């Protein structure tokens, strides 16, 4: 390959000029350098829509499960008065005239 | 790396990185994203740069190049990085602006040839620095450059002919 060929190609290629970095790049780079602890407080992340929807659905499902478990594990309320009255023993009295009758086994066989 | 050092690195190399990314992708938005990621990588892990292994420019070009190739593989998982099947007849460039024709021809190159020609022809980096930036040995860089120039001569033959030289197939 002739050196002139390379030179000609080089000159032709140089006709394609690329722009320098835009000013917005400086803000994006120098403005985004934050310490990790500051990022935890003020940082933002972009989340794809499907991931966001899945995370929201998972949170809702967890909330439902937790609420249901709380309902099951809660202390039962005391029974109402009517129910307690059924088991009230205040009218229970001992037998007044108890007649003891002894049944022997021989008699039973007759 | 201190803040002034980082600022100095940014101002010293942002343009070469941006032009490189722009010529590799053909997109201003993509170039801005890639260069931003490159500098953030430097900020987060400045120890990754070892001055004994080359210049900061070569290191940053290498980071940018890796980000570009990652992007390339994500967008075109089945395309080869170094593919010489692109030896096709001269493109029909008639009626287009010369600079646009050059841009189109460069972007038709396989990525490894394209990065070599961009760094050598446009940024005029020495071959050793290109080798460091691309993680290749000198012979590989020369070979890629040779093939890239051969392809470009072929594709841009109509434009080169107008300058008095005819390039056959």
- Decide if A28 and B32 are in contact by the 8 Å CB cutoff: yes
Q: Is A41 exposed, middle or buried (0-12, 13-18, 19+ CB in 10 A)?
A: exposed
Domain end residue (candidates: B25, B53, B80): B80
Residue A15 lies in a domain: no
pLDDT of residue B168: 43
User: Per-residue confidence at A2, pLDDT binned at 50, 70, 90?
Assistant: low
Domain count, chain B: 2
Please judge whether B10 and A4 are an interchain contact, meaning their C-beta atoms are less than 8 angstroms apart.
no
Q: Which of A62-66, B62-66, B110-114, B162-166 has the lowest mean pLDDT?
A: B162-166
Q: Is residue A54 part of a domain?
A: yes
Q: How far is residue B78's CA from residue B102's CA, in Å, rounded to a whole number? A: 26
pLDDT score at A73:
65
Q: Are residues B101 and B152 located together in one domain of the fold?
A: yes
Chain-centroid distance of CA A73 in Å reads: 18
CATH number of the domain within which B43 lies: 1.10.1740.10
B116 to chain A, any CB pair closer than 8 A? The answer is no
Number of domains composing chain A: 1
**How far is the C-alpha of B145 from the C-alpha of B106, rounded, in Å?**
12
| A14 and chain B in contact, CB less than 8 A | yes
Residue A77's pLDDT band, with cuts at 50, 70 and 90, is low
User: Is the pLDDT at B159 greater than 90, yes or no?
Assistant: no
A16 part of a folded domain? no
> Nearest CA to CA, how far is A41 from chain B (Å)?
18
State which residue of chain B sits closest to A14, comparing Cα positions. Answer: B122
B15 CA: distance to closest CA in chain A (Å): 5
Domain that holds residue B115: 88-169
Other C-beta atoms closer than 10 Å to the C-beta of A107 total: 8
Query: E-assigned strands of B13-169?
Result: none
Q: What is the pLDDT of residues A5-60, one digit of tens each?
A: 788 899 889 888 889 999 988 888 887 666 677 778 877 788 899 999 999 999 99
Q: Using the beta-carbon criterion (under 8 Å), do B160 and A8 form an inter-chain contact?
A: yes
What digits encode the pLDDT tens for the residues B21-71? 999 998 999 999 999 999 999 998 999 998 888 899 999 999 999 999 998
Q: Is the ipTM of this complex over 0.85?
A: no
Write out the H or E segment, with its range, that includes residue B68. Answer: helix B56-75
What's the confidence (pLDDT) of residue A40? Answer: 81
What is the pLDDT at residue A3? 60
pLDDT tops 60 at residue B90: no
Report percent pLDDT > 90 for chain B: 60
Higher pLDDT, B131 or A107: B131
B9 with B63, same domain: the answer is yes
**Judging by beta carbons within 10 Å of its beta carbon (0-12, 13-18, 19+), is residue A108 exposed, middle or buried?**
exposed
Q: Is A38 in CB contact (< 8 Å) with chain B?
A: no
Judgement on whether residues B105 and B166 belong to the same structural domain of the protein: yes
Answer yes or no: is pLDDT of B77 > 90. Answer: no
Per the structure, the complete domain to which residue A30 belongs is given by 25-70
């Amino acid at each position: 390959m002739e050196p002139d060929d390379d030179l000609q190609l080089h000159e032709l290629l140089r006709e394609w000029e690329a722009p320098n970095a835009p000013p917005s790049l400086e803000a994006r780079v120098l403005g985004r350098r934050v310490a990790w602890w500051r990022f935890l407080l003020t940082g933002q992340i972009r989340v794809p829509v499907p991931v966001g929807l899945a995370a929201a659905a998972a949170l809702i499902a967890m909330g439902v499960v937790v609420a249901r478990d709380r309902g099951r594990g809660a202390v039962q309320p005391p029974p109402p008065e009517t129910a307690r009255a059924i088991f009230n023993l205040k009218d229970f009295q001992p037998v007044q005239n108890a007649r003891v009758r002894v049944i022997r086994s021989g008699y039973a066989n007759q | 790396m201190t803040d002034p050092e980082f600022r100095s690195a940014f101002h010293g190399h942002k343009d070469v990185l941006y032009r490189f990314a722009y010529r590799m992708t053909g997109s201003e938005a993509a170039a801005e994203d890639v260069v931003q990621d490159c500098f953030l990588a430097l900020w987060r892990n400045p120890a990754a740069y070892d001055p004994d292994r080359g210049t900061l420019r070569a290191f940053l070009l290498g980071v940018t190049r890796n980000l570009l190739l990652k992007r390339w593989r994500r967008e075109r998982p089945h395309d080869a990085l170094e593919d010489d099947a692109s030896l096709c007849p001269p493109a029909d460039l008639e009626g287009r602006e010369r600079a646009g024709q050059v841009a189109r021809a460069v972007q038709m190159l396989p990525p490894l040839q394209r990065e070599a020609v961009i760094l050598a022809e446009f940024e005029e980096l020495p071959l050793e620095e290109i080798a460091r930036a691309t993680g290749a040995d000198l012979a590989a860089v020369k070979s890629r450059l040779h093939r890239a120039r051969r392809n470009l001569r072929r594709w841009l033959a109509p434009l080169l002919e107008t300058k008095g030289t005819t390039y056959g197939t």
